[in-house]
Chains A and B, each alone.
Chain A
Amino acid sequence: MKAIIATTIFGIIMMFASFMVNNKSAISTLAVVLFAALLGVNIWDLVTTPANAPQLFYNNMLRVEHYSLWFNTLMTGCSLLYVLLMGKEIQKVGTHVAEYFALILFILCGVYILSTYNNLLMLFIGIEILSIPQYILAGSDKRNLKSSEASLKYFLMGAFSTGILLMGITLLYGAARTFDITEMVSILHSDALNPLALAGIMFIMIVLSFKVSAAPMHMWTPDVYDGSPTPFTAYMATIVKAAAFFAFLRLFQVSFNSLSEHWTIILAIITAATLLVGNVTAVFQQSVKRMLAYSSIAQAGFMLFAILAVNAIAWQGIIIYAVAYSVATIGIFSVLVKLKDYTYDGFNGLAKKEPLLAFTASIFLFSLAGIPLTGGFMAKYYVVLAVVQQGHLLWLVIFALLMAAISVYYYFRVIIAMYFKPGTPELTSQVTAGDKLMLIVTCIIVLLLGILPQLFLNNI
């Protein structure tokens, strides 16, 4: 696991850069170089690890499978894409640019731990490493009251959920007498299940649902996503969420697989509630940013499908969903930050003024809505397939697809505003050739995900 060490070192380099380098754009360039290097380290990890042979690290604290490394590599790739698309916007948030990049690198450290943990304590540490930089990033726009509110709200809620997580882990330890998630499998039996273990599983499920903003633990999401500076919202809503999902899936697939009869129905209700709340509330939003916050809740509902389906396709589903959703969301946010007005009306007439921006935004929205030939379709397809293969819960599939149809309503409102309504949107900055190039690259990735998804699943 060279990547964990590398991301820490790179983060520290970035922190040093904050007082060694004064030039903001130099810092951005350094960040791009470091993220690219990190991607390189991940690929190095990937090719040097033999397939089909999990490796244990640090006294069995981490267990590295091939698909975890593949997930890490893809998420690092998404982060690189994020830095390339958002670098300029991150510079505008505040004065401590280098620190922002350093915090994002630390978040990635949390991502790597969450994708490979083999021990409940590592789960806890991973979640904390993932969350704490986010509390800071959420409040980084200090002049903005909403940003401070977001940070405080997120921190308080996050701290509270951490407490519940620890409680859950303790109860589980009481029942299983181990923190090791693979050892636990042989101790927790469905027929003679210790009630402590069941309570522990429920607590952990609640906390992980909180982290992935599943209803009814989603209350923090709209305020935090709306209040945080837009570039950081983009990161929180994508890579961070995907990592939390991967951790969720890892625990429930590896340790609690045989107990699924006890938790499936609760998780199914959570999924249905998430889909309902996310989609229906998104319809009524006036601000696109807030709509995207609710849409991220709605998308989480679909990702929960992967956890409900305790089978092999679920892994592929979560990976393809994580990538497709992350790339499209980062893309749409990178269009959003260019606009001054975040309401739907702010998008009016964008197609006339910036045809490329409108076109790529449409592709990203198509992907989020799950239109074929975009990544979003394949993502939804995989998770639905995983649940259908499981056999039961078909009612949930049909419900989810109805909700997906609702989602078309609010995603297409943006397209309607851009293409069919007159107006001249105000932009915060000129759209440079570099921006356009990156948007086209992102667009191509979205389409590739939709046309040839196997490219992104070759290793599992």
Chain B
Amino acid sequence: MVLIFLILIPLLTGIISFTLKGDGAKALALISSILTMAVSAYVSGTNYTAPITYAHDWIPILGTQFSLVADGMSSMLCLLTGIVVMVVMIVSVNKTVEKPGAFYGFLLLSQAGLMGVFLAYDALLFYVFWELALIPVYFLCSQWGGEKRIPVTFKFFIYTFVGSLMMLAGLIYLSTQTQGVSSYAWGDIVRAGTSLSPEKQQWLFWLIFIAFAIKMPIFPFHTWQPDTYEQSPTPVTIILSALMVKMGLYAILRWLLPVLPAGVAYWSDTVVVLAVIGIVYASCIAIVQTDIKRLIAYSSIAHMGLMAAVAFSGSSVGMHGIMVQMFNHGITITGMWIIVSIIEDRWGTRDMTKLGGMATVAPKMAIAFVIISLASIGLPLTNNFIGEFMLFNGLFSGTEANHMVMMAIAGLGIILGAVYTLNMIQKTTYGEAVAMLKGKDVSINEYLGLAIIISLVLFLGVYPKPLLDLTSGIASMIVK
């Protein structure tokens, strides 16, 4: 029963928010996000003993149920969603947007959709939430985004919509293959998928995979991503990069790897190669970017590429690493975007060449920036170190011999990541100081948001056990 609140709280407050004006909407959104975060923390906390489930009849004639299950992976991602949205709301307290009622309403609706995606244990329900998370984001980007927002978000929407429709076709096909009456329940879909002949699994793989590949995004389906990140308002960029890309990865772990094992085995090399190409390609492009928002967007492709490569390497340590890294990447990149939004707000530009000397002008922010950036390259004692270590370990211990080569190339991504991230820190934080246009160092609410992020970064870097324990059971289950 508690699971339904994870969806209902943001859904209802989101709808109410549309009728509110000004600070009312902002306050409601903040309260709602804190409540949701509390519920998700409770769900994760109780999850060490047994998964929580909730089921209710929905459309019996289609064999679909309103069924939610929070196992380790789901509750971990719900917790991430809770934390990230809460931090977004906290740092937005001193920002003003046009039509705040609609803005916060859409943000909360997309949170409801995300929660649904992470919890749905029924394929059709999963699909519905998958789309539901997308539509508010479409409106957010199109209405509050940058100059080129309309064509860019349109491209984003069509891209992801094509993918989702292909996935729908795949899911419908799977549901008709279930034993007896057609069913969308996760267990039935898995049974139906695994019992298909390898040839069928091979083409079905692409129908389903393409939706997730676009969302993640995996090279060559990534072209929507940098533009959309750049044009979106920062709260939306955070939702997109910290949470929505995780939808793709989560969906691969839940709805692809266990469902079509023969298809996955057949195509895994291809996907690993694509993902590794993506890592190197995105890293190289990130090096030449001068706009920090674009730089971080490309770095995100590289990070997600690594996780995707490991997901198809079939090692249980790697799988466990993905779960941990999904959480850590979400936390770190949220911090990155907060810093970017502060920079944009105070200096009025995101161009690295026009920035410099933040360490003297805004020391608090500079410290936060350095810590988060170092976390993003995976320095020991930061959260990403644990994740990346496990990921490489997984790629290394994978079943395929040629994964060694892949690991070596993917390792380049780490080095290149250090190059562009350190270069960014150097250009913005040190050197000749550029005066701020307005405001001063971080404000109270931004301070609070960054403090949450940094304490998580350091805490999970030093003591990752809670996170590892939460996800260990599910990781070994997927690989089996």
Residue ranges of A at the interface with B (Cβ–Cβ < 8 Å): 366, 371-373, 381, 384-385, 388-389, 394, 397-398, 401-402, 404-405, 408-409, 412, 416, 419-420, 452-454, 457
Contact = CB atoms under 8 A, between A and B. Distances in A.
A389 B169 CA distance: 11
B176 interface: yes
Contact of B61 (A373, A394, A401, A454): A454
Chain A, interface SS category: helix
B168 A371 contact: no
B169 A371 contact: no
B128 A373 contact: yes
Contact of A416 (B61, B128, B154, B176): B154
A420 B98 CA distance: 13
A388 B132 contact: no
Interface string B163-181: 0011011001101100000
Given A401-B165, A412-B157, A457 B172 contact: no
A153 B73 CA distance: 62
A92 B219 CA distance: 56
Given A419-B139, A419-B143, A388 B172 contact: yes
B142 A419 contact: yes
B169 A454 contact: no
B207 interface: yes
A405 to B, nearest CB: 4
Given A372-B127, A384-B172, A408-B158, A452 B142 contact: no
Contacts of B169: 384, 388, 394, 397-398, 401
B142 A398 contact: no
A457 B161 contact: no
B165 A404 contact: yes
Nearest to A398: B169
A440 to B, nearest CB: 15
Given A409-B158, A453-B59, A454-B61, A401 B176 contact: no
Contact of B176 (A389, A398, A408): A389
B367 interface: no
B466 interface: no
* Best-buried of A372, A394, A457 by chain B (most CB within 10 Å): A372
A219 to B, nearest CB: 29
B135 A371 contact: yes
Determine the interface band of chain B, counting residues with CB < 8 A from chain A: 20 to 34
Contacts of A408: 157-158, 161
Contacts of B172: 381, 384-385, 388
Interface in B129-162: 131-132, 135, 139, 142-143, 149-150, 154, 157-158, 161-162
Nearest to B173: A388
Nearest to A409: B158
A397 B131 CA distance: 19
Contacts of A381: 62, 168, 172
Contacts of A454: 59-61
A454 B161 CA distance: 26
Q: Which 4 A-B pairs have the closest CB atoms?
A: A401-B165, A372-B128, A405-B162, A372-B131
17 contacts: A381-B168, A384-B168, A384-B172, A385-B62, A385-B175, A385-B176, A388-B169, A388-B172, A388-B173, A389-B176, A398-B169, A405-B162, A408-B158, A408-B161, A419-B139, A419-B143, A454-B59
Contacts of B175: 385
Contacts of B182: 389
Given A384-B169, A394-B169, A405-B158, 12 more contacts: A371-B135, A372-B132, A381-B172, A388-B169, A388-B172, A398-B207, A409-B158, A416-B142, A419-B143, A420-B143, A420-B149, A454-B60
* Best-buried of B61, B165, B182 by chain A (most CB within 10 Å): B165
B72 to A, nearest CB: 27
A372 B135 CA distance: 10
Given A412-B157, A420-B142, A457 B61 contact: yes
Contacts of A409: 154, 158
Contact of A388 (B128, B131, B157, B176): B176
B167 to A, nearest CB: 10
A401 B139 CA distance: 23
Contacts of B132: 372-373
A409 B155 CA distance: 9
Contacts of B149: 420
Interface string B56-87: 00011110000000000000000000000000
Contact of A398 (B150, B158, B166): B166
Given A420-B142, A454-B61, A401 B166 contact: yes
Nearest to A390: B176
A214 B149 CA distance: 37
